[in-house]
A and B are shown apart, each in its own frame.
Chain A
């Protein structure tokens, strides 16, 4: 796993951050004085040279830099020596929602200010959504399949599924699969105007409180997370440390409009049901749930209801966490950060508490919501990445004997 997150870089810092809750702060990356909401989970200090030594890095967008850094971390963590591998057998599959927005704004604005004949041509590639994946393949010499997916909040889990299917079909031996997002002033303002950011409805609560009675919305997060995904035989064959298994996946689309609650709840139930079923399990076999919940008033409620329907009485007790309370809503990276957190949670046999959770909402009837970390023996985690206006995706992650 390669983790570049608002909680820290690398597995240990990420895990410590999940427990110590340092991700969301006042935004320093851009000016927020005139804005209603000024909190986000940002990566305040980042230098690409700490991760890569190649030349030509300065033209990369923040998204591309994050992605290359996380890829480098992942390759190291998996003990992969690229010189010993066939590059055409290594693929890259990444998800993002807003990865190119800042680059588009910067490039087009420069065109207006300086005139089209004087824009910096080196900035042009950053405007296309797939350039971070492209840069990753160029800098690491990885020439297998290379795909970028944009499916909103479920992009990351969709990327993991895409990668798993490609591996099953023998299209690649190793895939760098993950997601990324960079903090964007325009996206932040866009969500404020859509009244989705915590505090954007003027009620003063500007921290995200997933599943809490007084939640007002989410905050944005940024970062990149890359997982090295391989077929079991291949991993064993090269003596790789195996952290976990991608055991099952499910998805179901929920429309943006018209959006009845019923349709969304059913879609979320289908996604979870399919994921559990495709892993050969039943709801009772799931030890914990990593919720998609980010503090959104309606979104959290829909998920709670859907989980309740899928798990029935089990929903009273099954430990759940909502790490977007700590890393914010990282869109394309969210589902994969959640997957990484699930893997670490299963390694440490501890489910992180939900930050800022004070009081439960009667409309979100889940039994085991808590701000406290709970020791728990978990071997399987259900990870949810739900989205209104796109696929709802769920993934079952199983602890591996070595992990």
Chain B
């Protein structure tokens, strides 16, 4: 009999709020994170709008020996601090080897590398100190989180791009069930990346102004950034210390499109298989799902493929399951996206409210499901499926459920 795994803490740094309360309020009131980009000069770029995290006090997170942590790490640490505090989880000599970190990202501390490259271009020589090399490997993020809180449990960095958060949450779930940890800070972090921005612009995947998931006139993503953390804990451990339990991680599925390095399978083959796999592994039927938090990036390809995939798996039931994408407000926060969305899923269970798909104006006959347009919906939310699909064809669906003892 495998251990049950529950969620006892949440933390989020996002383009629409740097606390879970503010984040949730934004999701329900439609406060968008989109604004003119300030991270770098966009003069020579076609696009100018993105979803950056605002008012984030990064000075609080200074690396003790050599100065600043990279931005992705700072946000990951801030969100982790929130989650640990939210959970009231004590970290001390007797517990630290049982608490781990499992994070996802797309390209790690991209800003640190981008700064060096810019300077290299301007001066002809790359300038960096003896600690720069640590920023070049994405695992510095999970390391920085662990070291800030003195955590010695299993430590993972799973850089599976736009689905990374879900992969990290999934592996944290497995690791706890394997008996290798009692609790794991799981999620993802991504800093606003010039490289990613340039790439999405150049592949015509980016909207000029507004992200409109599932809308007929959708024109692409808005790039985002942030960090999302869910604290996963072994049920027995959580009950023993009287922790507040938000929800349960029921299980997840992973698969690969094996179709194209960037474009999703046009009929959502991988997306359908992974949702079906998640249901199979959790022993649930399609009818059991109360809400699907979609990947819903706002590109023509993804939203159409994802809608087709949902129909494949849920049949006629697809038309009555609420499906929404919060990327309308947060933009696509890349490696942190599915983690930030996991926080939204947990809050939807906790609050029995489904966050809407904002900016939805024109229905698309090829996307004809119930996308909960523009108005939050109160409902009994017991089972939520969190979808995410990435470059490389990495697909993941994680299922969360209301905790029942």
B256 near A137: Cβ-Cβ < 8 Å: yes
Asked if A253 and B146 sit within 8 Å, CB to CB, the answer is yes
Partner of B129, one of A140, A152, A193: A193
Q: For B117, give its contact among A100, A108, A135, A194 (CB under 8 Å).
A: A108
B260 within 8 A of A: yes
CB-based contact B195/A257 at 8 Å = no
Give complex CA distance A252, B97 in Å.
8
The answer to whether A109 and B198 touch (CB under 8 A), given A97-B139, A115-B44, A146-B394, is no
Is B220 an interface position by the 8 A CB rule?
A: no
- 1/0 per residue, CB under 8 A from B, across A225-252: the answer is 0000000000000000000000000011
Q: Mark B252-281, 1 if CB is under 8 A from A, else 0.
A: 001111111110000000100100000000
Q: Is the CB of B199 within 8 A of A127?
A: yes
Q: Which of A105, A109, A135 has the most chain B CB atoms inside 10 A of its CB? A: A105
Residues of B170-200 contacting chain A, CB below 8 A: 171, 174, 178, 180, 194-196, 198-200
A146 B199 Cβ-Cβ under 8 A: no
**A151: which B residues are within 8 A, CB to CB?**
139, 155-157
Closest residue of chain B to A187 (Cβ to Cβ) is: B136
CB–CB B198/A119 < 8 A:
yes
Whether A29 sits at the interface, judged by CB under 8 Å, is no
Residues of B within 8 A of A138 (CB): 257-261, 393
Q: Taking A124-B202, A128-B161, A138-B259 as contacts, is the C-beta distance between A252 and B152 under 8 angstroms? A: yes
Q: Looking across the interface, which residue of chain A has its beta carbon closest to that of B103?
A: A150
Size of the B side of the interface (Cβ < 8 Å), in residues, is: 79
CB distance from A263 to the nearest CB of B (A): 8
The one of B120, B139, B392 in contact with A150, judged by C-beta atoms closer than 8 angstroms, is B139
- A162 contacts the other chain (CB 8 A): yes
Q: What mask results when residues 103 to 129 of chain A are scored 1 for a CB within 8 Å of chain B, else 0? A: 011011101110111010100110111
- Residue with the highest number of chain B CB atoms closer than 10 Å, among A194, A195, A331: A194
- Which chain B residue lies CB-closest to A134? B392
**Cβ contacts under 8 Å, B230 to chain A:** none
What is the distance, in angstroms, from B159's C-beta to the closest C-beta of chain A? Answer: 4
Cβ of A134 and Cβ of B393 under 8 Å apart?
A: yes
Partner of A391, one of B108, B110, B113, B155: B155
Interface residues of B in 127-145 (CB under 8 A from A): 128-134, 136-140, 143-144
Is B23 in contact with chain A by the CB < 8 A criterion?
Answer: no
Asked if B241 lies at the interface with its beta carbon under 8 angstroms from chain A, I say no
Contact between chains at B136 and A127 (CB < 8 Å): no
Contact A112:B121 (CB < 8 A) given known A88-B255, A251-B154: yes
Chain A residues contacting B94 (CB-CB under 8 Å) are: none
Given contacts A194-B133, A389-B134, contact A255 B117 (CB under 8 A): no
A142 CA to B131 CA, complexed, in Å = 39
**A:329-370 near B, CB below 8 Å:** 331
State whether B137 touches A124 (Cβ < 8 A).
no
CA distance A115 to B178 in the complex (A): 49
Q: Out of A128, A130, A146, A254, name the residue touching B255 (CB < 8 Å).
A: A146
Q: Which residues of A are found within 8 Å of B254, using beta-carbon distances?
A: 145-147, 171
Task: Count contacts on A: residues with CB < 8 A to the other chain.
Answer: 73
A193 and B201 in contact, given A125-B261, A391-B154 (Cβ under 8 angstroms): no
Given A92-B256, A193-B129, A125 contacting B155 (CB threshold 8 A): no
A108 touches B134 (CB 8 A): no
Nearest-neighbor residue (CB-CB) of B261 within chain A: A125
Cβ A137 vs Cβ B257 within 8 A: yes
Q: Do B392 and A137 have beta carbons less than 8 Å apart?
A: yes
Chain A contacts of B405 at CB under 8 A? Answer: none
Q: When the two chains form their complex, are residues B258 and A117 in contact, meaning their CB atoms are under 8 A apart?
A: no
> A195 to B174, Cβ gap below 8 A?
no
Q: Is the CB of B199 within 8 A of A124?
A: yes
CA distance A371 to B147 in the complex (A): 38
Q: Contact between A146 and B146 (Cβ–Cβ < 8 Å)?
A: no
Q: Judge whether B158 and A149 touch: CB under 8 Å.
A: yes
Q: How far does the Cβ of A235 sit from chain B's closest Cβ, in whole Å? A: 22
Interface residues in A241-295 by Cβ distance below 8 A to B read: 251-258, 263, 267
Q: A308: CB under 8 A from chain B?
A: no
Nearest-CB distance from A279 to chain B (Å)?
Answer: 15
Given the interface pairs A143-B273, A150-B139, A256-B147, the reply to whether A135 lies near B255 with Cβ below 8 Å is no
Contacts of B16 in A (CB 8 A): none
Best-surrounded residue of B134, B138, B261 (most CB of chain A within 10 A): B261
Render B362-395 as a binary contact track against A, CB cut-off 8 A, 1 for contact. 0000000000000000000000000000111110
Which residues of chain A from 147 to 168 have any CB-CB distance to chain B below 8 Å in the complex? Answer: 147-152, 158, 162, 165
Counting CB contacts under 8 A, is A224 at the interface? no
A191 contacts B by Cβ under 8 Å: yes
A137 lies within 8 A of B154 (CB): no
In the complex the two chains form, is A129's CB within 8 Å of B108's CB? yes
CA distance A127 to B334 in the complex (A): 13
B397 CB-CB contact with A under 8 Å: no
Query: Is A318 part of the contact surface with B, judged by Cβ < 8 Å?
Result: no
Q: A138-B259, A253-B146 are in contact. Are A149 and B157 (CB under 8 A)?
A: yes
A136 CA to B6 CA in the complex, in Å? 35
CA distance A151 to B108 in the complex (A): 12
* Interchain CB contact (< 8 A) of A128 among B136, B150, B153, B391: B391
- Judging by beta carbons under 8 Å apart, are A130 and B201 in contact? no
Neighbouring A residues of B118 by C-beta, 8 Å: 108, 112
Which B residues, 218 to 259, have Cβ-Cβ distances below 8 Å to chain A?
A: 254-259
Residues in A whose Cβ lies below 8 Å from that of B130: 193-195
The answer, yes or no, to whether B106 is at the interface (CB within 8 Å) is yes
User: Contacts of B256 on A, CB cut-off 8 Å?
Assistant: 91-92, 134, 137, 142-146
Q: When chains A and B are docked, how far (Å) is the Cα of A171 from the Cα of B61?
A: 40
Chain B residues whose CB sits within 8 angstroms of the CB of A14 once the complex forms: none
Give complex CA distance A109, B121 in Å.
7
Cα separation A83 to B376 with both chains bound (whole Å):
48
A-B contact pairs, 17 of them (CB 8 A): A87-B258, A92-B256, A104-B110, A111-B194, A121-B203, A124-B198, A128-B159, A129-B160, A134-B394, A147-B254, A149-B159, A150-B137, A195-B130, A251-B154, A252-B152, A255-B146, A390-B139
| Known A116-B44, A124-B200, A146-B160; further 8 A-B contacts with Cβ < 8 A | A130-B159, A131-B391, A137-B256, A152-B139, A194-B133, A251-B154, A256-B144, A389-B147
Nearest first, the 9 closest Cβ-Cβ pairs linking A and B are A134-B392, A190-B133, A124-B199, A129-B159, A146-B256, A143-B258, A112-B121, A145-B254, A137-B258
Give the interface of B toward A (CB within 8 A). 44-46, 63-65, 97, 100, 105-108, 110, 113-114, 116-118, 120-121, 126, 128-134, 136-140, 143-144, 146-147, 150-161, 167, 171, 174, 178, 180, 194-196, 198-203, 254-262, 270, 273, 390-394
